[in-house]
Every structure is written in C-alpha cells, then in structure tokens.
Structure 1
Amino acid sequence: MSRIGIIGAGKLGTALARLALDAGHEVRISGSPRQAMIELVIGTVLPGAQLLPEADVIAQSDVVILAIPFGKAHSVDFDALAGKVVVDAMNAWEAAGGHLDEDHDGTTSSLVKLRNPEMRLVKSLNHLGYLDLTADAREAGHPLRRAIGVVSDDEEARRVVARLVDSMGFEPVEGPRSASRCLEPGSPIFGRPVSAEELREALGL
C-alpha cells in the first residue's frame, strides 16, 4: 500500500482516486476551494479518501499526481515537490484548459520539469479518458487489460509509478522521457484504449 496524493478533484482526479482506493492505497486529494460542495462530493464519491489542503497532500504522500487542467499548472506549489515522485497526468489542449508555450519540445512534462528540476517527474495516466479509466480496469492477465504508458528517465521513479498503474488495473509500459511525445494529444494512441503490445509499438520500444 502506498500513500497517493492527487492534486485536482475534477473528473480525472476523482477517477484516479477511486482506482487507487480500490487498489488498497491511502488517498489524499486536494481541490479548488471554488468547487461547490467539494467536501460533500469527496465524502460521497470517494469514501475513505482524505480531502486536504495541497500542502498537506504533498507532504503526506509518496506519489503525487497532477490531475488539474494544464492551464492551471502555475497554481501548484512546485517548490514543495522537490524529491517527490510526481506524475504528470495533464494534457495541453483546449479541452484541458491550456496550450503549450512556443518554446517547448512537444510535451507538458518538458515545461513542468522546468518549474522544479528536483522533482522525480513521470509522464503517465494522461492518454486515456477518465471514463475509460473507470470502465476498463482489469486484473493482471486479463485478455482485455489495457496499457498505460509510464515515461521518465528516472528509472526508479518510473518503476514506482508502473507498480501503481499495475495495481490500478492497467498494464504499465515503461519508456524513456523521449517517448512522452507519443502520449500527448494528437498521437495515434491518445484517447484510444490499446494493448501493451500496441503501446510498445507506438512508443518505439
């Protein structure tokens, strides 16, 4: 069991929290104070999860998932994430509230990493929609088990996130940071459930 922190209590954040709870992890989640009746929503949808301020979610978690719209990433206290395993589950597209800056290498993680190079950043949990995440979780070995990319040059952090993905009911496919472009909007596999074999081929592994 791990202590999973989720920054963002929207559709993606609550879907990931539900999967983590079902897998037996401790879950801490933070949301915008502007969200209507957030305490009631979390208590009803995610019984067992702790709704905490962002600072407490970060301090009390082993893995922190960024599940907010990319356009709101500037609101995160990135300084507090130094040394933490951080999952970038954000997407830079209109539907997610933001676009990449002009000076970038085509990935959200390239910009997120600049905010604090001491984060142990992993790109994952971003290329399937929240409905697919909640509907398609399967036990290991199931013939219909879907794959999720886990991309980073930090091999230890990548393994930590891969174990989390596996526990949530998906087949982790690990790859180097250079493969993260294949997980972004516009790639052939984005938003499309794929097998581990199909994902490895897309990532060039």
Structure 2
Amino acid sequence: MRIGIIGAGNIGGNLTRRLTALGHEVAVANSRGPHTLGALAEETGATPVAAADAARGAQVVVVTVPLKAVPDLPTGFLDGAADGVAVIDTGNYYPQQRDGRIAAIEEGLPESLWTQERIGHPVIKAFNGTYAQDILDNGRPQGSPGRQALPVAGDDQAAKRLVRDLIDELGFDTVDAGGLDESWRQQPGTPVYGNQGDADAIVKALASASPERTAQWRA
C-alpha cells in the first residue's frame, strides 16, 4: 500500500519505521524539507518528499503535525491522493504546552473536527493517545492475550475500516470509538489517553470519559 506521512516526529517517525518494515511504500515529509530526512530515509527505505507531494497516489495519509501547524499545510495537498484516501489525524490540542488558544476547541468543538474543517477532507482519529514507543515495541499477533488496543473514531466507514485493518497489521486491536462528534472521548485528559489496555479496557475508558476539559488542557 502507498502511504504518505506528513510529520516526522515521534509518532510519524515510528510509523515510518513500522510501515516500511511491513512492506508498505512510504513517502514521508516534514516542515523543514526532504533534505532533512536523509537519516530516516536511509534507515527505513522511505522516500523523503515535500509536504505538498506526500499524498500523491497514497491510499492512506497520516497527518501528524502540531495542531497549530494544521492551517499551514499546503493548499490542495490531498489533490493527488488515491480515490477514497483515508486520512489519519493523530493530533492533539496542547494549548499551554505548544499550540496556544484555539477558540473553537475551547468552546467544545472536538479537536479532529477542527482539523477536518481546516483540511477539507474527512479524517479518522487514531494514534493520538498512543505512546510513540508502543508503536515500535508493543505490537502483537492477532489473538494474543492482552493485546493492546487503540480507539479509532471517524465518520467515513470505509476509511475507518482501512485504518483499523492497518492498525491490526501493526499488531494492535482496535475499538470503534464512534463518529468524530464523539472523538472528544479520546482527547488529552480522558481515561483512554495514554491507556495501554486491551480492547475491554479501552471500551470502559471511552465510556467513562467526560466532555469537560480539565484545567491542564485548557488555554
């Protein structure tokens, strides 16, 4: 499968490592340009590209950049993607730590709905509460006892299925966390955020979430 990854930080870098190891054709981009991705490309065999080209021909595109950087993504960066491309949003709103105040999110708009509106394409929320090291270390064969599970939210059912299958290939179970209007259940500060539990634990954590943002996660 052709996969584009925009953002080569902890999550983006480790997804590049795992997905190339599984035999996928990965194009990876960051904000500083492909010339800065030589080491990652040499390590993984991924193709370093400009952000405007990362989605070209891709069936899956991973957007894993700081939320404040989403509006700066190249205009039309998804135009060359494959029909039905699944766009994964791994982002989190960190107002005090990084992103500054985003009024619509402070007023209750789920973070991934804000991102979806900015990029003009449906997104699937996944990997946002996953430790980057887990992507490298915690994958297990399907059916393994206690296999770690990840919540996945989104409204495009075909795209969600594709993303869940890809996560299964990476070695993790998934839990359908509903549509993006319910995706606040996996935002920072919720019980599922950073939760390394199995599917049953993730279901319980999602159910116990509150829509009220705690002080740590407000501007």
Amino acid at match of 1:81: L
The CA deviation at 1:158 is 0.6
The CA deviation at 1:34 is 6.4
Label 1:75 to 1:173 Cα distance change in 2 as closer, same or farther (>3 A). same
Number of residue equivalences? 201
Label 1:99 to 1:131 Cα distance change in 2 as closer, same or farther (>3 A). farther
Between 122-131 and 108-117, the greater mean CA deviation after superposition: 108-117
Q: Is the 8 A contact 1:72 1:97 kept in 2?
A: no
Does residue 115 of structure 2 align to residue 112 of structure 1? yes
1:182 aligned residue: 185
Percentage identity across paired residues of the two chains: 28
Q: 2:40 aligns with which of 39, 42, 54?
A: 42
Q: Is the 8 A contact 1:78 1:115 kept in 2?
A: no
Q: Is the 8 A contact 2:146 2:197 kept in 1?
A: no
Label 1:100 to 1:133 Cα distance change in 2 as closer, same or farther (>3 A). farther
The CA deviation at 1:55 is 2.0
1:198 aligned residue: 201
Q: Distance in 2 between the 1:130 and 1:111 partners?
A: 23
1:137 aligned residue: 139
Does residue 195 of structure 2 align to residue 162 of structure 1? no
Does residue 128 of structure 2 align to residue 126 of structure 1? yes
Measured against aligned partners, the alpha-carbon deviations of 1:64-87 in whole angstroms (never above 9, x if no partner) come to: 101111121122125333663211
Structure 1 length normalisation: TM-score? 0.88
Amino acid at match of 2:49: L
Q: Is the 8 A contact 1:91 1:126 kept in 2?
A: yes
1:31 aligned residue: 30
Structure 2 length normalisation: TM-score? 0.82
The alignment partner of 1:79 has SS state of: coil
Q: Distance in 2 between the 1:188 and 1:22 partners?
A: 31
Q: Is the 8 A contact 2:38 2:48 kept in 1?
A: no
The alignment partner of 1:125 has SS state of: coil
Measured against aligned partners, the alpha-carbon deviations of 1:27-86 in whole angstroms (never above 9, x if no partner) come to: 110012269x6233213432x211111222112211110111112112212533366321
The CA deviation at 1:200 is 1.7
Structure 2 unpaired stretches of 5+: 209-219
1:88 aligned residue: 89
The CA deviation at 1:88 is 0.5
1:56 aligned residue: 53
Q: Is the 8 A contact 1:138 1:169 kept in 2?
A: yes
Q: Distance in 2 between the 1:78 and 1:163 partners?
A: 29
The CA deviation at 1:106 is 4.5
Label 1:95 to 1:15 Cα distance change in 2 as closer, same or farther (>3 A). farther
Q: Distance in 1 between the 2:43 and 2:187 partners?
A: 29
